[in-house]
Structure 1
Amino acid sequence: MNNITEQQTEIFSGSYSPEDCEFLLQTTEITPLSISEKERLLQRGGIHYSKMITAEEVPTQAYLDTFKALVAQYADRLAEEVKLLAKKLYQQKGDHITLVSLARAGTPIGVLITRALKAYYTQDVKHYSISIIRDRGIDCAALEHISNSGRASNSIVFVDGWTAKGVINRELKSAIYDWNRKSDYCIGDELCVISDLSGSAEYIATTDDYAIPSGVLNSTVSGLVSRTMMLDDVEGYHQCIVYEHLAKHDLTHWFVDRIVSRFESVGIAMDNSTQAWRKSRQENLSVFLSKVIEKFNVDDINKIKPGVAEATRVMLRRIPRILIVKDSCDPDVRHLKVLASEKEITVLEDPTMPFSAMAIIANIKD
């Protein structure tokens, strides 16, 4: 059995500074698979996605140009929304705040909120980034580290980039329920996100489905860290790869600094979230997904990925069957159309869709 607990005494921050983020993960080496090979293994069954990973390549120049255009378009908006979340968390938690982002989509947002809290409210902010894996739960070794760190349990709030179908939020709540049953260090299960498409998060900045720039790239905007894994026969924290071969293409600091530089120039986003909206969104989402399953004869709801960010993940890391956009002229889906063109994927338009974009994963078994 591989026991890498010695590494857990070191601060691991990827390409972030330790003041911005501490990953409670352990780095490992694993032979990456091709996207097609991984997809076949996933759909054949018997191997969970957390046991394998694909290599990440340098984005094309056309795609990078689209990413930077999105950053330019949304820097002010994202800065306003990050400041809104910082204000909400400070009003609720007070001077002592522990952000626990869900690696890796939550990591850049956790870093930005950390910067906003320290700039405007309190210096007593600690940001950890930990792993949670669908159908496997949260990293309890990471929670144990936090419980031993001296951070107050009521200072904790979880951070992600967005919600789509709400799967990870349900996984989070189930995992924290189990943790609290077994631990004296009882913590809340509240989730903080930029965009809440499923109507399931507690702290939200918007309900809009837009191209949050940090959701458009992979590791090169997330500290060069891969998505997390839970390999067999490895003790301690969940695992990740650091994509060192992409270091010269890393935009992690560039992205964070670009958004933070707008803090002083913008206000705080309007808070338009309501409990009624959340309930309505949950009901509409269920109805919509049922229609998609029937119309496209989808055999597994996990193959449906609603929202710009989730559709982007499919286009980058899975084998897409089809891409559906609400408005093909919307700049929020421009990067998706670039990827669809590169991968020769059909793009459909559906103006009735309650999202800006949605991708369906191909059925490799066919």
Structure 2
Amino acid sequence: MNIGSFCGSYRPNDVSFLLKRLSLRPFIDVANKERLIQSGTRHYSEMLSPEAVPSPRYLQVFNDAFAANRQQMARDCVSLAALINERRSGSITLVSLVRAGTPVGVILKRLLQNIFGRKVAHYSVSIIRDRGIDTVAIKHILQHGHPPESIVFIDGWTGKGVISRELEQAISSFNQQHLVTIDSGLYVLSDLAGTAACAASSDDYLIPSSILNATVSGLVSRSILNESIGEGDFHGCVYYEEFESQDFSREFADSLIADGICLVNRVGLPKVVPVDSAQAAAISSEYIHATMLQHGITDVNMVKPGIGEATRVLLRRVPRLLILRNPNTPDVAHLKVLAAEKNVPLIVDASLPYQSVALIRSALDG
């Protein structure tokens, strides 16, 4: 059974991870994990590839990316906080999706408190493609007195919209089963797929937290759902205590919060331009279809559009190809480093609707 929530490497009032910490680590090397996933032998959520602290070269690229993009991320965090403030009355319960949503949720919680004077709780829960959201965690939130109408789901970005659709389906089912009315809409900084309920932008820019793993996400792994998880358990995770000396999670969030408050004090709340979701969705659908035809791909999950998704592929999958719109822009510098380190072919396509796209290698490829 669950032993309760924990805060990872964040402060206790920043977030409660509703995850079961696993003592036995379900690690498997990337190549074997890819083979098992693609053969249908194991689901991706059942396994983890071991993480490592970033190389000095990669860490320098992260620091450069953070310096270049922190103001845009801070502005988008303030904009998203303002949108949440407009759309929710009463208390607010942020439910961020592990892991990419967690740093954003930590930042939003304090911006909503400090700028808008709102009462905010923040939980981080697991959602898994084809497996749904952790309903034990959602029940826990409701049982702790948070009204269903106060819940706001948070993630970093959309790629193809898989998780936003998974969330909609899972919460719709949960609502019907438990006779509640939780809003299944996803709130993100950047909505590339046009599937989010609310977004600060639809730009494919380098969200700095997307290019590190555990060391910017509270030292928590991607969530796990395997035989270690009992019926009444939260989904699982690994806590990387060995990375504590390299952890950037609190510093990253604190910096963005300070930047956001400074921005509001200097120029007021930024004007939010509504995202054209229909246009973003049309661009996404057209590009995915054309790319699958061009490269002979039959599984849509092998195409990962946008900087955030491409980064994930190069960090923890077996990449087939990296495609860049402009290899000289600083936003893709970290992708070039990873591609060089892993001997991943790189091509340039100036017509790309995103800054980058990664293709996953099929187990059938030579």
TM-score range, shorter chain: over 0.9
SS of 1:262's equivalent in the other structure is: helix
SS of 1:90's equivalent in the other structure is: helix
Can you list the C-alpha shifts for 1:17-57, whole angstroms capped at 9, x where unaligned? 11110011111122311111111111121211111111001
1:13 to 7, 19, 22: 7
Q: What is the match of residue 273 of structure 1? A: 274
Distance change in 2, residues 1:122/1:185 (3 Å): farther
| 1:350 paired to 2:349 | yes
Shift of the alpha carbon at 1:299? 2.5
SS of 2:172's equivalent in the other structure is: helix
| 1:252 paired to 2:249 | yes
Inter-partner Cα distance in structure 2 for 1:278 and 1:234 = 37
Can you list the C-alpha shifts for 1:186-223, whole angstroms capped at 9, x where unaligned? 21111110000001111211110011001110000000
2:115 to 95, 114, 120: 120
Shift of the alpha carbon at 1:263? 2.2
Alpha-carbon contact 1:214-1:221 (below 8 Å) kept: yes
Inter-partner Cα distance in structure 1 for 2:226 and 2:181 = 27
Amino acid in the other structure paired with 1:27: R
Inter-partner Cα distance in structure 2 for 1:298 and 1:63 = 30
Can you list the C-alpha shifts for 1:272-293, whole angstroms capped at 9, x where unaligned? 224xx21122122111111100
Alpha-carbon contact 1:40-1:365 (below 8 Å) kept: no
| 1:160 paired to 2:159 | no
Q: What is the match of residue 48 of structure 1? A: 43
Q: What is the match of residue 133 of structure 2? A: 138
Alpha-carbon contact 1:96-1:122 (below 8 Å) kept: no
Determine what percentage of the aligned residue pairs are the same residue: 41
Q: What is the match of residue 83 of structure 1? A: 78
SS of 1:261's equivalent in the other structure is: helix
Can you list the C-alpha shifts for 1:279-318, whole angstroms capped at 9, x where unaligned? 1221221111111001111131101000000000000000
Inter-partner Cα distance in structure 2 for 1:281 and 1:264 = 30
| 1:243 paired to 2:244 | no
| 1:191 paired to 2:190 | no
Unaligned stretches of 5+ in structure 1?
none
SS of 1:266's equivalent in the other structure is: helix
Alpha-carbon contact 2:325-2:356 (below 8 Å) kept: yes
Can you list the C-alpha shifts for 1:209-250, whole angstroms capped at 9, x where unaligned? 011001110000000000001112522110000011211111
| 1:147 paired to 2:146 | no
TM-score by length of 2: 0.95
Alpha-carbon contact 1:44-1:365 (below 8 Å) kept: no
Q: 1:21-36, aligned counterparts within 5 Å?
A: 21-28=15-22, 29-36=24-31
1:230 to 225, 232, 256: 225
Q: 1:175-214, aligned counterparts within 5 Å?
A: 175-214=170-209
Amino acid in the other structure paired with 1:272: V
Inter-partner Cα distance in structure 1 for 2:97 and 2:237 = 13
Shift of the alpha carbon at 1:332? 0.7
Aligned residues: 358
Inter-partner Cα distance in structure 2 for 1:270 and 1:217 = 30
Q: 1:92-131, aligned counterparts within 5 Å?
A: 92-131=87-126
Q: What is the match of residue 262 of structure 1? A: 259
SS of 2:95's equivalent in the other structure is: strand
Can you list the C-alpha shifts for 1:52-96, whole angstroms capped at 9, x where unaligned? 111001111111001011111112111111111111111110241
Q: What is the match of residue 333 of structure 1? A: 332
Shift of the alpha carbon at 1:122? 2.5
Amino acid in the other structure paired with 1:246: F
Inter-partner Cα distance in structure 1 for 2:120 and 2:126 = 20
Shift of the alpha carbon at 1:123? 4.2
Deviates more, 1:259-268 or 1:241-250: 259-268
Can you list the C-alpha shifts for 1:85-122, whole angstroms capped at 9, x where unaligned? 11111111024110000001100000110010011113
Inter-partner Cα distance in structure 2 for 1:96 and 1:123 = 7
Inter-partner Cα distance in structure 2 for 1:298 and 1:270 = 41
Alpha-carbon contact 2:111-2:261 (below 8 Å) kept: no
Amino acid in the other structure paired with 2:104: I
Inter-partner Cα distance in structure 2 for 1:269 and 1:77 = 11
SS of 2:347's equivalent in the other structure is: strand
What's the RMSD between the two structures over aligned residues? 1.2
2:32 to 28, 37, 42: 37
| 1:60 paired to 2:55 | yes
Inter-partner Cα distance in structure 2 for 1:317 and 1:187 = 33
Inter-partner Cα distance in structure 1 for 2:102 and 2:133 = 15
Q: What is the match of residue 301 of structure 2? A: 302
Q: What is the match of residue 363 of structure 2? A: 364
